[in-house]
Amino acid sequence: MIKNYKNLIFISLCFFVAQIVFAQQDAQYTQYMYNTLSINPAYAGSRDMFSAVLLHRSQWVGVDGAPTTQTLSGHTPINEKMGVGLNIINDKIGPAKETYVDANFSYSLELSYDTKLNFGLKAGAHLLDIDYNSLNIYDITDPNFQASNIDNKISPQVGLGLMLYTDEYYVGLSVPNLLETKHFDDSSNASESVAKERMGFYLSSGYVFDVSNDVKFKPAILTKLVTGTPLQVDLSANFLFYEKFTVGAAYRWSSAVSGLVGFQFTDSLMLGVAYDADTTEFSEYSGGSFEAFLRFDLFKSYNKMVTPRFF
């Protein structure tokens, strides 16, 4: 009972502090290396086949109202120069639900025989729903809780990205959202709060080392910078054995350590899971975070994959 009470206090504070300062930013992923289209539109078409990823993340397991995220993304080349993709993201925390739908386009320049530079553009919409009635309010006369519900408030989304890559490495830079959109700017709301999504910069890179004929090693890094928030750095290292089994670990700076496991069932189908253990004082109340994804690749009959791409 005491634990649930603490959980409720924590989620309420997180939500209303976020409401006063700025809205929840882009969804967080531990297995970002398999979900790159969600953070960089330049990734569209880069796998040279149709590729789709379904991902679910439950953050802070055991905490009432903790964030959960579902992502469905797919992309494909349409010719040697261009690729297209689609992202659908559902992100929920407490009484707030955000849905992102965006289309992605990339254009590729061949810098050398095995090096390409992709330029990416995404455009779409963000839908926000907030149900204040779902809160367990201690004092219903508190003016901070008198705001009207928000139903399907639509905001535009525009993003840009670059990605330089070969079969061995990649470096990407992206701004998933160029627009600083206010979500709570209606002065008729009793809460009179102002929140907005701020521009974020993502820098990602990875390199694949051939340790032996049967073992590949890929370190990767993702750095995220959003105005007004601390710098976020994710470090990961994965080993691929016999083109089938992947195992690795990750560290989110001053936040969490993670274990990652993946299995390539067929040339077309891969399953991956990850578990995050908090390294902060909040670990006393949380059971950690869990993430799972399923990736499906569709090949042309004359272009079967000899060895699976590691990114």
Q: Give the bridge partners for 257, in sequence order.
A: 251, 277
Amino acid making up residue 269: L
- Nearest CA to 255 out of 237, 229, 281 is that of 281
Q: Mean per-residue pLDDT for 24-39?
A: 85
CA–CA gap between residue 58 and residue 186 (Å, rounded): 31
Q: Residue 92 corresponds to which tokens in the numbers above? A: 């929920």
For the chain, the first-to-last Cα distance in angstroms comes to 45
- Nearest CA to 30 out of 281, 287, 288, 307 is that of 288
CA–CA gap between residue 100 and residue 39 (Å, rounded): 12
Q: Domains of the chain (ranges plus CATH)?
A: 25-181+194-300 (2.40.160.40)
CA–CA gap between residue 164 and residue 93 (Å, rounded): 35
Average pLDDT, the chain: 84
Contact 295, 262 (CB under 8 A): no
DSSP at 199: P
For residue range 256-270, what is the model confidence (pLDDT) as tens digits?
999 999 999 998 999
Q: Does residue 297 register a pLDDT over 50?
A: yes
What is the pTM assigned to this prediction?
A: 0.83
Q: List CB contacts of 115: < 8 A, sequence separation 6 or more.
A: 164, 165, 166
CA–CA gap between residue 251 and residue 258 (Å, rounded): 6
For residue range 85-144, what is the model confidence (pLDDT) as tens digits?
999 999 999 888 999 999 999 999 999 988 999 999 999 999 998 887 777 766 666 666
Q: Give the bridge partners for 204, in sequence order.
A: 172, 222
Q: Give the bridge partners for 90, in sequence order.
A: 70, 99
- Other C-beta atoms closer than 10 Å to the C-beta of 159 total 26
More confident residue, 70 or 184: 70
DSSP 157-216: EEEEEEEEE-SSEEEEEEES----EESS--TTSTT----EEPPEEEEEEEE-EE-SSSEE
Band of pLDDT at residue 62, cut at 50, 70 and 90: confident
DSSP at 46: T
For residue range 171-193, what is the model confidence (pLDDT) as tens digits?
999 999 898 766 554 544 444 44
Q: Residue 108 corresponds to which tokens in the numbers above? A: 């590729």
Q: Mean per-residue pLDDT for 268-275?
A: 96
**b/e 100-118 (16+ beta carbons within 10 angstroms → b):** bebebbbebeeeeeeebeb
